[in-house]
Amino acid sequence: MEQLTIQNPSMDLIDKLSTHIYGAVVFSDDNFAEILHWHGGASLLLNFGALDIRVFSSFEGGQISKKSVFFISRPLIDNTLETLHDVINNSYFESVTIITNIHPAMQTLVRFKPPTDENVLETLVNLERKINSWIAVKINKTGMCKLLYVPLVASQIIPNLFTFPCHYNFFPLLPTDVNRLQVRHKLGSSKHSPIDFEHLPKNLQLKYKLLVSSLHTFSELLSITEQNIFSIGASSRIIGQELASLNWRKTSKHHQFDCTLEKILWGLPKLGTSLFSGGDDDNDAVDGGDDDDDFERDDVTGRSLDVQVDMSPVCSVVHNPGNVCIAPGHICHADDPRSSALISAFALLKQKEVLAELNRRLLEAVGKENLDYDPGCSSSSGSSSSSGSKLNALDIIERLVASFKYSSSSIRKYSYLLQLSLALTQSIKSKKLKRCSRLQMHEKSILQCFDGDDDEEGGSGGGRCGSVFMKVVDQYCKDCEDDDDDGGDDGCGSWKVDGLLSLLLFAYSCDARGRLSLSSKQETQLEVKLTRFIMSSTIDPGSFSTPPSHQPIVKQIMQDILDPNLHDLPDLTFHPLTSHGGGGGMFGEDLIKSGFGFFRGQSKPRPLDSPLVIIFIIGGVTVSEFKIVKEVMLRSKVKNQVLVGGTNLVNPDDVLRMTLAQDNLLIDQ
């Protein structure tokens, strides 16, 4: 089977929009701008002939052209329509083209109408008439409005890894959220009383429907003809039901690929995964994060995925660390195919291997450009605080980058390589990554609490577990004090609390059996009782010859899926596609609910029955999880193509915010 790609059909769609963009002022909201950013960004739109690119905001307008294009990723209702009206009223447009990735049926549904063909057509016609009336009032003559739907919802980070920027703040229901809903609707607290779509708050129902619409749109983009849907967890079970019962699902008339799909929706909160682990290698990360190549830099303004890179080492300006970056770069270079392979190396290789690859590429570029390179000169950053091979490797890369400083043509030619090189070196030397590496080592110390013998509460292992955990906490506090003694500029900052919360969250996540139910008195005496009898399926207790280790949930589920000897997969819920939507409009309520254990004697589908498997993690995916999936697939030697995606590319701060600092039942739209 030909390998499916996300980028090719996406770029084909964008290329078809060039005639609309030519000679127009382009407006885009942040989420659609993120998607466009990973497909070429502003340079692509300007090459198409856009006169200007502006933020979709009530304070913006376009006076330089009579033609406008709007990229809008939200339903065309309420505040979105008001903002559109304000922009048109601030301008003199005769032509308005609105490009949206919200399915026309979804635009109808948010107006509380069943998405029949007649209602969808009526909705679109009424929208065009309303916008035409706004244009006519402003310019005193008839205008022209077009509504275009394009199935463009995904951003490809590297091949086979993608995110949905429009749903970056979507997080699955936590067990406490499920309990609250069960109490509210008097469902009981049993796992046999599952939460369904109608039990969700109204604002959350809309968010779920929009994600279902985006998943359907993504299938349209890839021209999927058949699909089996599986789910894991409360949130993904709801989404799987709604996606399976979608009654406006239609097969695309023009198929670039003819294939079937197995879609696995993971709605598990990120509680069983180390917040700071860079991979699933058993011992490689013990040295303080050798596999951790996630970029720990400031975000690019208006972007939720990309990061800001300080490019002053190749500029004439002098930049003091800690000040505002006056020469910012970034890691996304969708217009340069050479960058994709390098970013893939960042995600999949170890840190030392990545540094070696950068060194090779930079040496090759310096040789081709005949640049002066002095291997004996001082580091461009003047750093000498590190030691060992990493310092040598970083210094060499910084010296190689510095050799481009006075060659503007070479900088333009190898812009992607210079920005990615500086991104990695600055990330490795950042204080934030140092702290994450330190917390990763503390997490490994917590694992020493478990020896596999503490199965009964009150056993001898409980006291030892608490003692070991308190030693970890004590060591963490000592590390914080050492940072203060070193004169850290944010030694008393919130990162201390975040780090301690991360360790506590990791400890609680290991308790799959619910044995950390503490009274208020015990909670106040956390120093003694917090981690008593922590043992879960995410912990390998080890043996006499091997130490305890963390077994990520993603890895366990992938191994179960790939195990041919497992005939039943009880963790997976299968959602058969319904031929109609039933009486529930867009989301049929007469869905046949099924699980692997309910069909005795019948042949049940398995995720690997189809050549393409899409693993979509609700709440966000990490690069480490992508690497785990790739490694498990390689070891199993299966030939299925696997795409890994999520609502966001998450980092430790995102996990802490979404699990501890927001109400997932009352989240804002």
Which segments of 12-154 are extended strands (E)?
25-28, 52-55, 67-72, 95-100, 144-149
**What are the structure tokens assigned to 384, written together?**
């000498």
Q: H/E/C letters for each residue in 156-189?
A: EEECCEEECHHHCCCCCCCHHHHHHHHHHCCCCC
Q: How many angstroms separate the most distant Cα atoms in the chain?
A: 85
pLDDT band at 378 (very low <50, low <70, confident <90, very high): very low
pLDDT band at 668 (very low <50, low <70, confident <90, very high): low
- The count of other CB atoms within 10 Å of the CB of residue 451 is 14
Q: How far apart are CA 512 and CA 473, in angstroms?
A: 22
Q: Residue 58's domain is classified under what CATH number?
A: 3.40.50
Q: How far apart are CA 506 and CA 271, in angstroms?
A: 7
Q: Strands 328-329 and 67-72, how do they pair?
A: unpaired
Strand order in the sheet with 573-575: 155-158, 161-163, 641-646, 612-617, 260-266, 226-232, 573-575
Residue 448 forms part of a structural domain: yes
Residues 6+ apart with CB under 8 A from 298: 307, 308, 325
Comparing 21-25, 250-254, 415-419, 606-610, which segment has the lowest mean pLDDT? 250-254
- The pLDDT of residue 333 is 81
560 and 481 in one domain? no
- The count of other CB atoms within 10 Å of the CB of residue 40 is 19
490 and 567 in one domain? no
The answer, yes or no, to whether residue 88 has pLDDT greater than 90, is: yes
pLDDT, average across residues 512-520: 47
Radius of gyration of the chain from Cα atoms? 27
* Of 505, 538, 571, the domain-final residue: 538
Top-confidence residue, 444 or 237: 237
> How many distinct structural domains can be found in the chain?
4
pLDDT band at 275 (very low <50, low <70, confident <90, very high): very low
Query: For 581-598, what is each residue's pLDDT tens digit?
Result: 433 333 333 333 333 333
Top-confidence residue, 584 or 568: 568
Spatial contact of 204 and 665, defined as CB atoms under 8 Å apart: yes
Q: How far apart are CA 305 and CA 168, in angstroms?
A: 9
Q: How many residues does the chain have?
A: 669
Angle between helices 389-402 and 415-429 (to 10 degrees): 140
Report which secondary-structure segment, H or E, holds 310.
Answer: strand 309-310
Give one DSSP letter per residue of 99-125, joined into a string: EE-S-HHHHHHTTT----HHHHHHHHH
Angle between helices 460-485 and 495-509 (to 10 degrees): 160
Q: Where are the alpha helices (DSSP H) in 174-323?
A: 175-184, 202-221, 234-244
407 and 470 in one domain? no
- The pLDDT of residue 25 is 94
Q: Strands 67-72 and 95-100, how do they pair?
A: parallel
Indicate the SS3 state at residue 178: helix
pLDDT, average across residues 623-627: 88
240 and 197 in one domain? yes
Report which secondary-structure segment, H or E, holds 265.
Answer: strand 260-266
The answer, yes or no, to whether residue 177 has pLDDT greater than 80, is: yes
Indicate the SS3 state at residue 256: coil
Bridge partners of 307, per DSSP, are: 299
Q: How far apart are CA 669 and CA 664, in angstroms?
A: 11
Which bin fits 559, alpha (ψ -120 to 50), beta or left (φ > 0)?
alpha
Give one DSSP letter per residue of 315-378, joined into a string: SSS---TTSPPSSEE-S--TT-HHHHHHHHHHHHS-HHHHHHHHHHHHHHHHHHHT----TTSP
- The pLDDT of residue 2 is 64
Q: How far apart are CA 463 and CA 176, in angstroms?
A: 28
Top-confidence residue, 544 or 32: 32
- The count of other CB atoms within 10 Å of the CB of residue 600 is 7
Q: How far apart are CA 322 and CA 311, in angstroms?
A: 14
Comparing 70-84, 123-137, 299-313, which segment has the lowest mean pLDDT? 299-313
Residue 298 forms part of a structural domain: no
Give the single-character DSSP code of 314: G
The answer, yes or no, to whether residue 258 has pLDDT greater than 50, is: no
Query: For 152-163, what is each residue's pLDDT tens digit?
Result: 999 999 889 999
337 and 218 in one domain? no
pLDDT, average across residues 103-123: 88
**What are the structure tokens assigned to 320, written together?**
């003091």
Give the single-character DSSP code of 492: T
Bridge partners of 193, per DSSP, are: none
Residue 632 forms part of a structural domain: yes
Residue 328 forms part of a structural domain: yes
The answer, yes or no, to whether residue 303 has pLDDT greater than 80, is: no
- The pLDDT of residue 541 is 61
472 and 355 in one domain? no
Query: For 333-366, what is each residue's pLDDT tens digit?
Result: 887 888 888 888 888 888 888 889 999 999 999 9
Query: For 410-466, what is each residue's pLDDT tens digit?
Result: 998 998 899 888 888 888 887 777 777 777 787 777 666 655 544 444 443 344 455
pLDDT, average across residues 560-581: 71
Top-confidence residue, 292 or 192: 192
* Of 429, 462, 479, the domain-final residue: 429
pLDDT, average across residues 632-641: 85
Query: For 43-68, what is each residue's pLDDT tens digit?
Result: 999 999 999 999 999 999 877 788 99
Top-confidence residue, 136 or 454: 136
Comparing 55-59, 374-378, 560-564, which segment has the lowest mean pLDDT? 374-378
Residue 557 forms part of a structural domain: yes
pLDDT, average across residues 181-202: 81
468 and 423 in one domain? no
**What are the structure tokens assigned to 279, written together?**
């991979």
136 and 31 in one domain? yes
The answer, yes or no, to whether residue 165 has pLDDT greater than 90, is: yes
Angle between helices 351-369 and 337-348 (to 10 degrees): 150
424 and 438 in one domain? no
Spatial contact of 115 and 105, defined as CB atoms under 8 Å apart: yes
Average pLDDT, the chain: 74
116 and 59 in one domain? yes
Q: How far apart are CA 593 and CA 660, in angstroms?
A: 32
Residue 86 forms part of a structural domain: yes
Q: How far apart are CA 257 and CA 259, in angstroms?
A: 6
pLDDT band at 5 (very low <50, low <70, confident <90, very high): confident
Q: How far apart are CA 161 and CA 6, in angstroms?
A: 9
- The pLDDT of residue 192 is 60
* Of 404, 429, 454, the domain-final residue: 429
- The pLDDT of residue 645 is 92
Spatial contact of 78 and 51, defined as CB atoms under 8 Å apart: no
Pick the closest to residue 378 from 366, 360, 391, 368 (CA basis).
391
The answer, yes or no, to whether residue 561 has pLDDT greater than 90, is: no
- The pLDDT of residue 277 is 40
Spatial contact of 278 and 366, defined as CB atoms under 8 Å apart: no
Top-confidence residue, 385 or 560: 560
pLDDT, average across residues 243-254: 58
Burial (Cβ within 10 Å: 0-12, 13-18, ≥19) of residue 295: buried
The answer, yes or no, to whether residue 81 has pLDDT greater than 70, is: yes
Question: Is the CA virtual torsion 283, 284, 289, 295 positive or negative?
Answer: negative
Residue 11 forms part of a structural domain: no
Residue 10 forms part of a structural domain: no
563 and 533 in one domain? no
Pick the closest to residue 60 from 85, 90, 31 (CA basis).
90
88: containing domain: 18-149
Q: How far apart are CA 553 and CA 571, in angstroms?
A: 11
340 and 406 in one domain? yes
